[in-house]
Amino acid sequence: MSTAETPVSMDIRDGIAVITMDSPPVNALGHAVRAGLMGALEQAEGDQGVNAVVIRGGGRCFSGGADIREFGQPPAAPTLRELCARIEDFPKIVVAALHSTAFGGGLEVPLSCHYRVADATAQVALPEVKLGIVPGSGGTQRLPRIIGAKRALKVILSGDPFAADAAHDLGIVDEIISGDLTDGAVAYAKKLVADGAGLRKVRDLSVADADPEVFAEMRKTWERRSRGLLAPLACIDCVEIAATKPFDEGMAAERDIFVKCRDSEQSKAQRHLFFAEREAAKVKDVPKDTQKRPINNAAIVGCGTMGGGIAMCFANAGIPVTVLETSDEALKAGMAKVEKNYAATVSKGRLSQDTMDTRMGLISGVTEYADIGSADIVVEAVFEEMDLKKDIFGKLDAVMKPGAILATNTSTLDVDEIASSTKRPEDVIGTHFFSPANVMKLMENVRGKETAKDVIATVMALGKKIEKIPVLVGNCDGFVGNRMYHRYTRQAYFLLEEGALPAQVDKVFTDFGFAMGPMAVGDLAGLDVSYLVRQRQVKNKKPGERWPVAADRVFEAGRKGQKNMMGWYKYEEGSRKPIPDPEVQKIIEAVSAELGIERREITDQEIHERCFYALINEGAKILDEGMAQRASDIDTIWINGYGFPVAKGGPMFHADQVGAAHVYERLAHWAKVASPLLEPAPLLEKLARTGGTFADI
């Protein structure tokens, strides 16, 4: 039997030693597990009655991988690399038996085994690239020797899980076991022994697809795709070394590259995000065992871009969904758009036609509210207009069954005001999906003042089921993401009026790591969208408060962005490349003169500090008000919903790296000389004076 101190056990079945890892919840390969495996191998080697070994995971999975908490600590023997070497050099056949998760180090151990079997539940992955590192215990050296360089690069660079069948097709898994996995693995090992099979050491295999062009092409692709991330290119280096160098030399190089990546600021940021995403799923005042409401079917009000995308999210998860539109014509148009989106994915080879047909079969359409009344959850996804949403929620209140969850896909509006049009505000919650909803991962869930805890628990769990990253936020104008976004875009607009031009502002953002700057993003989304938000916000404008006039003037000049080929930039037919437009410069300069602002030279540093530190400052206010549970939730929102550079870890993590004192000092400076709106938040001032960090919040 295994214990907490020795979480590895061994029993012998007809000459086969079955070694079981049993370290809940995911059999992480911490020191105790590694030492236990080493000890069991020693025992199996010395037992003359043992002919072969099966290594399996007890409980819910094979192994979730290395214990990330050990990163940066002095290595404790045996290391994972030493364990893998011991398995590979073991004098008797070793078979890995995989079920559920075999990720990271949890796959590197099987790769060092002589043979690998799995049941249908197994998923394998080397997700290290998502943590800013390379597989560090032989993954980049053994996997190419097993499946070839091209396939190995596909697995390593994606970081994504591959199901058992796919792993078998790739050649990672030798056989899929039906029935009991352990019994099947033992039988497989016995057959290998009876057939006189060799040890099949992976280190002795050569790498297929070792053509230099393979690596050159992959680098070209990932230099563009990774936008400055170190780990993807480092992974390519490691696989190329596997293809061109002896195994031991490759292992040494892999280790050096792993350490370099692990100690980088990028990896620290990516590991922060790994834990932040998992923390975001936890709601502090909602117990883990809160009873959730069943979600067996759903309804969507509106089948436009957002409504159709949200319907796809439910269908993708196998949940039947009914879409409500105002007319047959609108319904047909919306359903046609959904079908077109699925067909595009099929054409790219990322979805089978059968799967598309199944998902389309889960989506139905109606034009009467009464026809959606039996849904367990209804998501309103209409235009961002309060009176319209309140009218819809009044109608939903009349037809939805008791206990149904009433969700609004609002991006800025007051959830409590929307809920006030019902007699069941406890059932109302905000579910802010991001466009395109069937692609974007973030789901910003907004709790109203009366939202029931079981509704919160249900919607957070639903977010994970439909493969979103759910984050719970409070109810305020713009919630967390858009509230912060509006603060830094406002500074960007002011900088234009003071002397900058759109291309300069956007370049500061892309140099920082964003895919696009705020002006290009505005053109992509449509300048009418941000204009309407400002028209709503202007009602709450304080006397004397500065307003982004230039932004309004550009839209009022008939410039809607890419929708009509002219916004902050002009565009050529068939191209999304922004081209600076002298007409926009004239509009901006005219506004400067109108406002009595003498244009001056604006430095990139000023743009950086006024925009990014405004973002951090608003995050500090949000934390102080309790609109976000933790600083890392804000980072999760900004990474997954707003394109904040992964390598920087999110705005609040970035603030901690820069230092609260520095951010405070620069904001105080710019508040005096440029914009009173940059007055440092009380929480930021406190952290600056005490040496605290947002991570402590």
CA 648 to chain centroid, in Å, comes to 14
Tokens of 513: 């790591």
pLDDT value of position 69:
75
600-604: long-range pairs with CB below 8 Å, 24+: 600/498, 600/499, 601/499, 602/495, 602/498, 602/499, 602/500, 602/504, 604/504, 604/507, 604/508, 604/511
Q: What percent of the chain has pLDDT over 70?
A: 99
pLDDT band at 6 (very low <50, low <70, confident <90, very high): confident
Q: CA nearest 374: which of 299, 431, 482, 428?
A: 299
pLDDT value of position 545:
87
CB atoms near residue 256 (< 10 Å): 11
Predicted confidence (pLDDT) at residue 234 exceeds the cutoff of 90: yes
pLDDT tens for 555-583 read 999 999 999 999 999 999 999 999 999 99
Distance between CA 628 and CA 473 in Å, rounded? 5
Averaged pLDDT of the chain: 96
pLDDT value of position 538:
82
Mean pLDDT of 225-245: 95
* Residue 615 contacts residue 487 (beta carbons within 8 Å): yes
Question: What are the Cα distances from residue 593, in Å, to 32, 167, 551, 601?
Answer: 70, 65, 15, 16
Helix (H) or strand (E) run with residue 406 in it:
strand 405-408
Distance between CA 249 and CA 271 in Å, rounded? 28
Predicted confidence (pLDDT) at residue 537 exceeds the cutoff of 90: no
Mean pLDDT of 489-502: 98
Domain boundaries of the chain, sorted by first residue: 8-262, 298-475, 482-696
- CATH 3.40.50.300 is held by the domain 298-475: no
pLDDT value of position 541:
82
Predicted confidence (pLDDT) at residue 2 exceeds the cutoff of 60: no
Helix (H) or strand (E) run with residue 96 in it:
strand 93-98
CA 126 to chain centroid, in Å, comes to 16
pLDDT value of position 237:
98
Mean pLDDT of 548-561: 97
What residues have CB less than 8 Å from 181, skipping those under 6 apart?
56, 97, 99, 117, 118, 119
CATH code for the part of the protein at 8-262: 3.90.226.10
Mean pLDDT of 100-122: 98
Tokens of 497: 């009026």
pLDDT value of position 421:
98
Tokens of 488: 């830094």
pLDDT band at 75 (very low <50, low <70, confident <90, very high): confident
pLDDT value of position 557:
97
CA 173 to chain centroid, in Å, comes to 28
Distance between CA 412 and CA 463 in Å, rounded? 19
Predicted confidence (pLDDT) at residue 648 exceeds the cutoff of 50: yes
Active site residue 108: yes
**Amino acid sitting at position 696:** D
pLDDT tens for 464-480 read 999 999 999 999 999 99
Active-site option among 5, 42, 88, 128: 128
pLDDT value of position 5:
64
* Residue 425 contacts residue 393 (beta carbons within 8 Å): no
* Residue 405 contacts residue 378 (beta carbons within 8 Å): yes
Distance between CA 13 and CA 182 in Å, rounded? 10
Predicted confidence (pLDDT) at residue 3 exceeds the cutoff of 60: no
What is the rounded radius of gyration, in angstroms, for the C-alpha atoms of the chain? 28
Question: What are the Cα distances from residue 428, in Å, to 106, 414, 448?
Answer: 42, 12, 7
Tokens of 68: 């990330």
Active site residue 417: no
**Amino acid sitting at position 246:** P
pLDDT tens for 309-362 read 999 999 999 999 999 999 999 999 999 999 999 999 999 999 999 999 999 999
Q: CA nearest 651: which of 686, 606, 621, 625?
A: 621
* 492 phi and psi angles, rounded to 5 deg: -60, -40
pLDDT band at 1 (very low <50, low <70, confident <90, very high): very low
Predicted confidence (pLDDT) at residue 138 exceeds the cutoff of 90: yes
Q: What is the DSSP letter of 612?
A: H
Distance between CA 62 and CA 96 in Å, rounded? 9
pLDDT tens for 626-642 read 999 999 999 999 999 99
* Residue 286 contacts residue 455 (beta carbons within 8 Å): no
Mean pLDDT of 10-21: 97
pLDDT tens for 399-455 read 999 999 999 999 999 999 999 999 999 999 999 999 899 999 999 999 999 999 999
pLDDT value of position 442:
98
Mean pLDDT of 254-275: 96
Topology given in CATH for the domain delimited by 482-696: N-(1-d-carboxylethyl)-l-norvaline Dehydrogenase; domain 2 (1.10.1040)
Distance between CA 514 and CA 399 in Å, rounded? 45
Tokens of 80: 């994972």
pLDDT value of position 68:
77
Active-site option among 5, 70, 108, 598: 108
